[in-house]
Amino acid sequence: MARSGRYRVPFRRRREGRTNYYKRKVMITSGKMRLVVRKTLRQIIAHVCEANKIGDNTIVYASSFELRNYGWKGSFSNTPAAYLTGYLIAKKASSRGLSEVVPDIGLNTPSKGCRVFAALKGAVDGGLKLRVSEKVIPSEDRIRGVHIARYAEELEKNDPEAYKRQFSSYIKEGVDPKGIPSMFEDAKRKIDEAFGG
């Protein structure tokens, strides 16, 4: 069977499932800088960047690993860490005179309450102006880690061995997972103090 000569090979990054060029074009033509939020198994990454002909130029960068500097000893990839990373990038961006951005969550599935939306909520609370629906943002309890603290309390009471396995990294660091909400508030306060807020 003869094939039509109209077939076009997609760009490499589209074939690899790394870039949606249609969405990227819409964001770039807005004329605003992008707040790019990505998650890995170990951390949350956020950066504010501007597009140019060569590629993206990162203006401000933040990683959840930086939260160590503000007293955070919990997981660097959970919902509270995502919010604090968004809060941190907003403070850094504001100190550079940046105020309005377009959110870029890449190819992450935009499911209600996911970590990328927690990071965007942190950025809004930190002072950046961007559009994100309140319907998709995680609840205040999830952002503060109350759900983790409750789960840890129940697990410790009902199955101490499972508790030790589940929270072994916290125990190794000398952190009580039931204290995550207060650790979250302390880290947020230290970020504010560091940026004069």
Report pLDDT for 1. Answer: 47
Average pLDDT over residues 105-127: 91
Q: What pLDDT sits at residue 20?
A: 66
Most confident of 14-28, 49-63, 105-119, 173-187: 173-187
State which CATH number among 3.30.420.100, 3.90.1570.10, 1.10.260.40, 3.40.50.920 fits the domain covering 18-194.
3.30.420.100
The pLDDT, as a whole number, for residue 124 is 97
Predicted confidence (pLDDT) at residue 86 exceeds the cutoff of 80: yes
pLDDT of residue 27: 63
CB 85 within 8 A of CB 64: yes
Average pLDDT over residues 176-187: 96
Tell me the percentage of the chain whose pLDDT exceeds 70: 88
Give 30 or 152, the one with higher predicted confidence: 152
pLDDT confidence band for 69 (50 / 70 / 90): very high
Over residues 157-179, the mean pLDDT reads: 93
pLDDT at 57: 87
Q: What is the pLDDT of residues 24-64, one digit of tens each?
A: 666 676 678 999 999 999 999 999 999 877 778 899 999 99
| Mean of per-residue pLDDT scores for the chain | 89
Cα separation of 72 and 133, whole Å? 28
Q: Mean pLDDT throughout 2-20?
A: 70
% of the chain exceeding 90 in pLDDT: 71
Half-sphere exposure of 131 (CA within 13 A, CB side): 5
Residue 22 DSSP one-character state: H
Q: What is the mean pLDDT of residues 106-110?
A: 76
- In one-letter notation, the amino acid at residue 189 is R
Contacts of 128 (CB under 8 A, 6+ apart): 35, 89, 90, 93, 94, 98, 99, 100, 101
For range 188-192, the mean pLDDT: 97
Give residue 108's pLDDT.
Answer: 74
